[in-house]
Amino acid sequence: MMADWDHWRTREVAQRRTDRLLTDDSRIKTRPLPASFQLLGATAAMWALIEAQLVCDGVKIDRAGLEGALCETYPAAALSAWSLGKKKQNWPQLRESSPS
């Protein structure tokens, strides 16, 4: 199943037609990555795959955060809302200081 996700993510989502032509050409030894997928775009694409799998598994996803098992968040906004600022914290510290 992961091979299908990887193919979909790389071939269908992240690569434009030009990117696919370059990737498929054996004379070219580089695999282009569109600018939109270099940073946040790649993370968003991976979440799309995870979310699709969770929905297939029957997990309710509510991007508004009102219902369901998971919700979409913006980490910096959540830290600010919880008065945690931008200080770096490890997982136990975040769990201790986050709302229950």
Two structure tokens written together for 43: 């993370």
pLDDT tens-digit map of 10-31? 667 767 777 777 778 887 766 6
Asked if 76 contacts 86 with a C-beta cutoff of 8 angstroms, the reply is yes
Name the residue with tokens 């054996």. Answer: 26
DSSP structure string for 57-82: TT--B-TTSSSSSB----HHHHHHHT
Instruction: Give the torsion sign (CA, 47, 48, 51, 57).
Output: negative
Position 17 scores a pLDDT of 74
Render pLDDT for 26-75 as a digit per residue (tens, 0 to 9): 877 666 666 566 666 777 778 888 888 888 999 888 776 678 777 666 67
pLDDT for res 57 = 93
For the chain, domain boundaries: 1-59, 61-100
**Strand, coil or helix: 24:** helix
